[in-house]
């Protein structure tokens, strides 16, 4: 690299940035394809499910659905979080926002782990 | 009586107090300042305390724990690793793991085992922000070469500070410019700790209040299959594209596969705890040991510290500018603040995006959106390091 000049460095930097973009755009395309394949499989499974339900084999008496408490507005998905912590977090958020908890909609709670 | 005096005289003549040079004394002061920053100011203490203590040990006269001349001979090909193990000190032996690239790769395995790529898979466009933030690497590389007159391989190692990723910076520098390992590692880790001070002024300067207030839509859920396939696919495609990045990226993705497959919890736990802790001790002390007075105390160290800051700022600018462009193109659906999280520094940079977003609009929660570019930045900086190694490593 004895005769390496600024012009070459500029060109290498441009190529380097393009390589980074190319690699990550490639990954982006792969993730999109992976998601599309996953979604189509999910749709097929969902379409197959009602057909199976409609079949006469599914004659077992269905358990009566438990009655929901007043104000219930969906389910919170918990990832790496125990229900006790989730309940505390929802209470804290409601308190911080000064909003009644039944007016808030929690979709999921996930623990973010510290990384080095 | 005379024998006692002779013994004391001998002790005195071999004592570090009598043989210490002013440069070594200054390095001991610098090591103590770094210890203060790590222990009191809590600047990345897990790494900085070890680095500072390694610098302290290596500059104690007569300690013979690290011999830079042996590593010069190793690079020149006149000394082998076997001879270094036989004749070197404790820190020389630990340094073999840095020189071979073992420690940074194992640290990456632990990082992979702790990283959730879910936000990235849910919003693949974040990969673009992770790529744009690597602009800082190449901007600092050009400045180091054109303005400060560093050699190309050293300039490349300085540039990688902009990747805001300690293991990547150490991995590349140990291969391209081992004599500059200590200042580059110290600059990388110090600025990572200072991200909450470095980024916000640039973020506020480059974005309008309206942009910072933008609320983003909830991310879609990601299936377990996608999370398991992701590390395998990334390893295959990126390592085929750029084989030189395989040790770093391969270990990152292996650690992530341990985490996501659900069948190797024990391995995932070891990678992110016991193994990571052991390697961190070895890595930090041996990197600190390279801060030998006669090499560290040079104007170039100061230039590296300045260039490191420039690299971080340009990385932030790169991510923010693409964030603004994506905001415009999406009709205001993307908050440009998540762009600055593309500089890696997981999860600190994502937290800064969250804080700035919440400052503009208290009901704004950008953290999960910023985690996408944040982990994309880890992949992006590894790819950039692989590119620089491929160009300047020959």
pLDDT of residue A96: 83
Cross-chain residue pair A24–B234, CB shorter than 8 Å? no
Q: Do A34 and B155 touch (CB under 8 A)?
A: no
User: Which residues in B lie closer than 8 A to residue A114 (C-beta atoms)?
Assistant: 114, 347
Which residue in B343, B349, B352, B360 sits closest to B129, CA to CA? B343
Alpha carbon distance B116, B350 (integer Å): 13
Greater model confidence, A42 or B272: B272
What is the per-residue pLDDT for B209? 94
d(CA B186, CA B304): 10
**What integer pLDDT is reported at residue B220 of this predicted model?**
86
| Angstrom distance (rounded) from CA B359 to CA B364 | 8
DSSP sequence for B296-325: HSSHHHHHHHHHHHHHHHHHHHHHHHHHHH
Residues of A in contact with B128 (CB under 8 A): 21, 24-25, 28
Would you place residue A67 in the very low, low, confident or very high pLDDT band (cuts 50, 70, 90)?
low
Contact B383 A108 (CB under 8 A): no
Per 3-state DSSP, what percentage of chain B is helix, strand, and coil (rounded to 5)? 80, 0, 20
Of A4, A115, A116, the CB nearest to B152: A4
Give pLDDT tens digits along chain B (394 positions).
788 888 888 888 888 888 899 999 999 999 999 999 999 998 889 989 999 999 999 999 988 899 999 999 998 899 999 999 999 999 999 999 999 999 999 999 999 999 999 999 999 999 999 999 999 999 999 999 999 999 999 999 999 999 988 899 999 999 999 999 999 998 998 888 889 999 999 999 999 999 999 999 888 889 999 999 999 999 999 999 999 999 999 999 999 999 999 999 999 999 999 999 999 999 999 999 999 998 899 999 999 999 999 999 999 999 999 999 999 999 999 999 999 999 988 889 999 999 999 999 988 899 999 999 999 999 999 999 999 999 998 7
What's the CA gap between B288 and B303, in Å, rounded? 19
Question: Does A16 contact B371 at a Cβ distance shorter than 8 Å?
Answer: no
> Which residues of chain A from 56 to 85 reach within 8 Å of chain B, CB to CB?
77
DSSP states of B40-61: TS-SSHHHHHHHHHHHHHHTST
**Alpha-carbon gap: B95 to the closest alpha carbon of chain A (Å):** 20
- Chain B touched by A91 (CB under 8 Å): no
Which of B46, B152, B229 is facing A1, going by the closest CB pair? B152
Residue in chain B nearest A99 by alpha carbon: B363
Burial class (CB in 10 A: 0-12, 13-18, 19+), B299: exposed
Alpha-carbon gap, residue B382 to B183, rounded angstroms: 20
Say if the Cβ atoms of B131 and A19 lie within 8 Å.
no
Instruction: Give me the pLDDT at residue A73, please.
Output: 54
Q: Which chain A residues are Cβ-neighbours of B225 within 8 angstroms? A: 38
The b/e string for A42-60 (b: 16+ C-beta within 10 A; e otherwise) is: eeeeeeeeeeeeeeeeeee
Mean of the pLDDT values across residues A58-85?
Answer: 64
Q: Which residues of B232-266 are buried (b: 16+ CB within 10 A; e: fewer)?
A: ebbbeebbebbebbbbbbbbbbbbbbbbbbeebee
Distance between CA atoms of residues B255 and B258, nearest Å: 5
- In 3D space, the residue among B383, B331, B379 whose CA is nearest the CA of residue B124 turns out to be B379
Give the model's pLDDT for residue B300: 93
Backbone region of residue B292 per phi and psi (left: phi > 0; alpha: psi in -120 to 50; beta: other values): beta
Q: Which of A12, A107, A116 sits opposite B276 (nearest CB)?
A: A116
A31 in contact with B, Cβ within 8 Å: yes
Cα(B190)–Cα(B171) distance, rounded to whole angstroms? 17
Q: How far apart are CA B62 and CA B54, in angstroms?
A: 15
Contact between chains at A13 and B379 (C-beta distance less than 8 A):
no
User: A39 in contact with B at a CB cutoff of 8 Å?
Assistant: no
Q: Could you give phi then psi for residue A92, rounded to 5 degrees?
A: -65, -45
Chain B: residue whose CA lies nearest to A113:
B114
* Minimum distance, in Å, between the CA of residue A58 and any CA atom of chain B: 28
Among A19, A77, A115, the residue with its CB nearest the CB of B115 is A115
A53–chain B Cβ distance below 8 A for any pair: no
Of the candidates B47, B114, B134, which has its C-beta nearest A113's C-beta?
B114
What pLDDT is recorded for position A47? 84
Question: Which run of H or E residues covers position A78?
Answer: strand A77-79
- List the single residue in A1, A107, A114 with the smallest CB-CB distance to B392: A1
Q: Tell me the chain B residues in contact with residue A21 when contact means C-beta distances shorter than 8 Å.
A: 128, 131
Q: Break chain B into its structural domains and give their ranges.
A: 117-264+299-392
Where b means 16+ CB within 10 Å and e means fewer, B76-89 reads eeebeeeebeeebb
Cα–Cα distance list, B293 to A84, B92, B282 (Å) = 54, 16, 21
Q: Is the ipTM of this complex over 0.90?
A: no
- Measured in angstroms, the CA of B15 and the nearest CA of chain A are apart by 39
Torsion, CA A23, CA A28, CA A33, CA A36, rounded to 10:
170
Residue A74 burial (10 A CB sphere; 0-12, 13-18, 19+): exposed
Size of interface A-B (CB pairs under 8 A): 127
Of B128, B347, B367, the CB nearest to A24: B128
Label residue A116 by pLDDT band (50, 70, 90).
very low
């Amino acid at each position: 690299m004895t005769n390496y000049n600024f012009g070459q460095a500029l060109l290498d930097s441009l190529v380097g940035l393009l390589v980074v973009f190319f690699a990550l755009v490639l990954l982006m395309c792969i993730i999109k394809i992976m998601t599309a394949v996953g979604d189509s499989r999910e749709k097929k499974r969902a379409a197959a499910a009602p057909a199976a339900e409609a079949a006469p084999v599914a004659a077992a008496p269905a358990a009566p659905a438990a009655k929901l408490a007043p104000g219930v507005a969906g389910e919170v998905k918990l990832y790496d979080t125990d229900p006790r912590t989730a309940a505390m977090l929802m209470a804290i958020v409601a308190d911080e926002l000064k909003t009644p908890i039944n007016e808030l909609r929690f979709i999921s709670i996930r623990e973010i782990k510290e990384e080095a | 009586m005379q024998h006692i005096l002779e013994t004391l005289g001998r002790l005195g003549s071999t004592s570090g107090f009598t043989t210490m040079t002013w440069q070594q004394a200054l390095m001991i002061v610098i090591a103590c300042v770094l210890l203060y920053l790590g222990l009191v100011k809590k600047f990345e203490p897990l790494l900085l305390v070890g680095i500072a203590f390694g610098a302290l040990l290596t500059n104690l006269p007569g300690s013979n724990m690290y011999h830079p001349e042996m590593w010069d001979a190793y690079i020149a090909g006149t000394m082998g690793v076997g001879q270094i193990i036989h004749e070197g000190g404790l820190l020389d032996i630990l340094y073999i793991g840095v020189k071979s690239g073992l420690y940074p790769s194992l640290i990456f395995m632990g990082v992979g085992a702790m990283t959730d790529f879910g936000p990235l898979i849910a919003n693949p466009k974040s990969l673009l922000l992770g790529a744009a933030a690597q602009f800082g690497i190449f901007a600092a590389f050009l400045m180091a070469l054109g303005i400060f007159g560093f050699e190309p391989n050293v300039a490349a190692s300085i540039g990688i500070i902009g990747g805001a990723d300690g293991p990547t910076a150490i991995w590349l520098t140990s291969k391209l410019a081992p004599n500059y390992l200590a200042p580059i590692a110290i600059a990388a880790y110090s600025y990572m700790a200072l991200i909450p001070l470095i980024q916000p002024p640039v973020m506020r300067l480059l974005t309008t209040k309206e942009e910072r207030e933008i609320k983003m839509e909830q991310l879609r859920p990601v299936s377990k299959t996608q999370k398991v396939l992701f590390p395998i696919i990334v390893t295959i495609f990126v390592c085929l594209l750029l084989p030189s990045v395989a040790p770093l990226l391969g270990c990152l993705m292996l650690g992530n596969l341990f985490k996501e497959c659900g069948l190797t919890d024990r391995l995932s736990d070891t990678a992110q705890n016991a193994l990571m802790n052991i390697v961190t001790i070895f890595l930090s002390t041996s990197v600190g040991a390279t801060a030998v007075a006669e090499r560290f105390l040079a104007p170039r160290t100061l230039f590296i510290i300045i260039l490191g800051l420039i690299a971080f700022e340009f990385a932030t600018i790169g991510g923010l500018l693409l964030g603004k462009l994506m905001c415009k193109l999406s009709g205001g659906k993307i908050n440009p603040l998540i762009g600055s999280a593309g500089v890696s520094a997981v999860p600190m940079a994502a937290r800064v995006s969250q804080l700035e977003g919440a400052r503009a609009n208290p009901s704004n929660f950008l953290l999960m959106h910023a985690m996408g570019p944040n982990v994309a930045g880890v992949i992006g900086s590894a790819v950039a390091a692989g590119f620089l190694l491929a160009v300047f490593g020959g």
